[in-house]
Each structure stands twice: as C-alpha cells, then as structure tokens.
C-alpha cells in the first residue's frame, strides 16, 4: 500500500507523561507506519506540539522501518507545531498569532 500525498501531516495528541514531557508514543507509531508505506519521496510534517529533538526521532523511526523493508526512499521531516488554545482552536487556526516552520531542508520549507 502506497501513500499518494507529497506532504504528510502528523497531527496527533501528545499528552504529558509522568514527568510532564510530551508522550511521543503515538507520534512515533505514525512515523513507523509512514516508514512502512512510503514508496516515493515525501515531506513528513509534525503538527503536534513536541519537544526539541522529536524530528530526529521521527526520522529515525521512518528510516528503521525502511531498512526493515530493504528500501531507502528519501524524505524530509518538518516541524510545524500548532498553538491552539482550548475553547478557541477554530479562531486560533483562522487567525494565528504565529506560524513556526522548521527543517534542515530548504526545499521542504519552500514546499510548506
């Protein structure tokens, strides 16, 4: 099963774990699924609000799944966290007070 979209958005909940950091279990599960499915170059965007270094963990999860498949398909990871407040998410989305996009790939940032 392949994936048609060129840009894949990972937008899942990241509730705090016992020590207050974002729980990345679901983010990394989605990354592993992407690694199992991509069949052409893709941009993977993490929309969930996560800690610094998560993009590397997402890339590692995708790469590990590709290695298990015996393939090496190019991909870029972009961080584009959301800043939506409870009870005002729609208004925040329509009129954001800030937009953050981060990646080591100028081409991925341009695509965003």
**Domain residue spans of the chain:** 7-111
Q: Residue 105 — left, alpha, or beta (φ > 0 → left; ψ -120 to 50 → alpha)?
A: beta
Predicted pLDDT at 18: 83
Could you report the average pLDDT of every consecutive run of 10 residues in the chain (112 residues)?
A: 80 83 90 95 89 92 97 94 73 78 88 86
Task: Enter the pTM of the model.
Answer: 0.83
- Domain at 7-111: CATH code: 3.40.50.720
What H or E segment, with its residue span, contains residue 25?
helix 25-37
Predicted pLDDT at 101: 85
Give the integer Cα–Cα distance in Å for 90 and 74: 34
């Amino acid at each position: 099963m392949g994936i048609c979209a060129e840009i894949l958005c990972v937008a899942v909940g990241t509730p705090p774990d016992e020590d207050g950091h974002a729980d990345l279990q679901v983010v990394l599960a989605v990354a592993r699924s992407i690694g199992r499915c991509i069949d052409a170059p893709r941009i993977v965007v993490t929309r969930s609000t996560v800690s610094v270094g998560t993009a590397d963990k997402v890339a590692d999860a995708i790469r590990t799944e590709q290695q298990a498949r015996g393939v090496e398909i190019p991909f870029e990871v972009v961080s584009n966290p959301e800043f939506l407040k409870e009870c005002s998410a729609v208004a925040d989305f329509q009129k954001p007070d800030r937009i953050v996009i981060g990646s080591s790939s100028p081409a991925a940032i341009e695509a965003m």
